[in-house]
Structure 1
Amino acid sequence: MTAFEVIADVSAPLARRNPVAKLGAALLFSLPLVSTVDPFTPAVALLLELAVLPFFGVRYRALARRVAPLLLAAAGVLVTLTLFAAERTGSLLVSLGPFDITTGVLASAAGLILRIFAVALPGIVVFATTDPTDLADALVQNAKAPARFAIGALAAFRLLPLLGEEWRTLTLARRARGVDAGRNPVAKLRMFASTAFALLVGALRRGVRLAVAMDARGFDSGAPRTYARRQHFTAADTALLVGAGVAAMSILTLSVALGVFRPVVG
């Protein structure tokens, strides 16, 4: 399963909505969450996101596989703040030499970790319920995005799964030639860097060839384009946008009313 493969039941009520509406709703709901660092606001937002997930036709187990890479980011935030936090307010919990773990440090780490998941989850749901071709068509037809940008982004999305295949091919080819790092961590790091560089060079070459091929086929001709699949923006799509904005503002209002709102600036 690739990162951009549709894993939702396309007959679900919110999964059928216009791709631009779903993308806009994700932005409207996520952006206000970056205005605060308290753990309460992203926690409530995350609970609401999980509650509406069945309406998008996404199963919780399938979503868990998509968000698994975020656990690495969450662990990095926890370790970084625990060791290098500038302010260590609250009660002292554990003292590890020069590092004091306090309730304030853990609260700040929890707020950032919850915010990572609360902000990322709507975007993951959008791509899990939307075919990339439909998204590109909707961006051009409904959001009036340049066709060159939308079609180029679609081509990039389609090529992303090839990166994993090429990484495995490069690794197996080097192993067949006897190039193996063994258990040496330094050699493994060098092997990783060289493989990543080779993958980057191959991706750039493929991108140049694809751009030339698309231009040769008239993708940037400037002539009026026709569409095989029309993307209609209905009243239900507008309601989704309004609902996302109202939900985000309601969560922020609740956090302010309870006195837990901690703005990022100020």
Structure 2
Amino acid sequence: MERLNPVVKAAAILAGALILSFTYSLMLNGLILFLSIVLLLFCSKAKKKTLVKILIPAFLAALAIFFTGCFFSNPGEASQLPKNASLNFALASISGSSFYNGLKLAARILSFAFLGILFALTTDGEEFVQSLIHQCHLSPKYAYGVLAAFHLLPVIREELSRTRLAFKVRGIPVTPFSLRPVFAMLVNTVHWSESIAMAMESKGFSGEEKRTYYHVTKVHWYDWAFFAGLVGLLLLGSFLFPL
């Protein structure tokens, strides 16, 4: 997955998510879940520990949507289960169609989450920006600005922790939702951004003249094969599994 062109990969996943948003099929969502898990585990270098950490909020959201669909859906909605079928869950009794509707909603949340995770864990940020420059003809001035801001994120996180510690040393109470350290951190962030802009200008970087690149991203046949395979599979599945 890491060998795929980032822009083509992003286009394929966005197109797949768009097709998936117009369908309401449990089978199709399950197929996307299975395919994403296989690609993440066997066709990528994604760390399983990182994958588990990211999936915890997604599973919690899917669980909440599942119970919402079970207890607050219309029993008369289309379902593959009989309308008069009922299931006992804890102290509550829900209809079979409501249970099936909850499953479809939960699978829908997980399928969108897995598509996003598939792109995030298999794409390098710098290579994605380079692909935007070469394949989408994005101006280097904006592309490298985004890349500089991306690399500032870890520094901003460390600066926020240092600012909180400085407030505590001075005896100023700081709660987890206090905005005082955030304001101090933002002031330093503005100074850093100005320094980065001055450094880029001092090196003659304006974004107007033509530049040479050490690494040029290209689109290969397997990139288009991935795009056609994912989009074609979703289109075929939307016709084979309408519900």
* TM bracket, shorter-chain basis: 0.7 to 0.9
* Range moving further from structure 2, 66-75 or 150-159: 66-75
Equivalent in the alignment of 1:69: 57
Q: Percent identity?
A: 25
Shift of 1:229: 0.6
Shift of 1:43: 1.6
Report if the CA contact (8 A) 1:32-1:249 is conserved. Answer: yes
Equivalent in the alignment of 2:106: 113
Shift of 1:32: 1.2
Shift of 1:47: 0.9
Report if the CA contact (8 A) 1:45-1:251 is conserved. Answer: no
TM-score after normalising by structure 1: 0.70
Shift of 1:31: 2.0
Equivalent in the alignment of 1:234: 220
What is the alpha-carbon distance in structure 1 between the residues aligned to residue 109 and residue 182 of structure 2?
29
* Residue 221 to residue 73, structure 1, CA distance change in 2 (3 Å): same
1:223 aligns with 2:209: yes
Report if the CA contact (8 A) 2:9-2:119 is conserved. Answer: yes
Give the partner amino acid of 1:209.
E
Report if the CA contact (8 A) 2:73-2:101 is conserved. Answer: no
Equivalent in the alignment of 2:229: 243
What is the alpha-carbon distance in structure 1 between the residues aligned to residue 184 and residue 98 of structure 2?
39
User: Which residue, out of 113, 122, 133, partners 2:115?
Assistant: 122
Show CA shifts across 1:107-163 (max 9, x none): 444333322221232332223222211111111101222323322222232222334
Match of 2:179, SS state, is: helix
Equivalent in the alignment of 1:157: 150
* Residue 192 to residue 105, structure 1, CA distance change in 2 (3 Å): farther
What is the alpha-carbon distance in structure 1 between the residues aligned to residue 90 and residue 198 of structure 2?
61
What is the alpha-carbon distance in structure 2 between the residues aligned to residue 123 and residue 36 of structure 1?
18
* Range moving further from structure 2, 167-176 or 41-50: 167-176
Equivalent in the alignment of 2:19: 32
The alignment covers a number of residue pairs equal to 233
Shift of 1:46: 0.6
What is the alpha-carbon distance in structure 2 between the residues aligned to residue 199 and residue 92 of structure 1?
55
Shift of 1:244: 1.5
Show CA shifts across 1:218-265 (max 9, x none): 544411122111112111222121111112212212212xxx1xxxxx
* Residue 249 to residue 207, structure 1, CA distance change in 2 (3 Å): farther
The unaligned stretches of length 5 or more in structure 2 are 77-82
Give the partner amino acid of 2:133.
V
Equivalent in the alignment of 1:44: 31
User: Which residue, out of 127, 134, 149, partners 2:127?
Assistant: 134
RMSD (Å), alpha carbons:
3.4
What is the alpha-carbon distance in structure 1 between the residues aligned to residue 222 and residue 168 of structure 2?
54
What is the alpha-carbon distance in structure 2 between the residues aligned to residue 192 and residue 178 of structure 1?
17
User: Which residue, out of 213, 217, 229, partners 2:198?
Assistant: 213
User: Which residue, out of 166, 178, 194, partners 2:179?
Assistant: 194
Report if the CA contact (8 A) 2:62-2:106 is conserved. Answer: yes
Report if the CA contact (8 A) 2:140-2:207 is conserved. Answer: no
Q: Give the greater-gyration-radius structure (CA).
A: 2
User: Which residue, out of 139, 143, 165, partners 1:172?
Assistant: 165
Equivalent in the alignment of 2:79: none
Show CA shifts across 1:70-103 (max 9, x none): 23433553465567x363555474698xx98554
Report if the CA contact (8 A) 1:30-1:248 is conserved. Answer: no
What is the alpha-carbon distance in structure 2 between the residues aligned to residue 193 and residue 80 of structure 1?
33
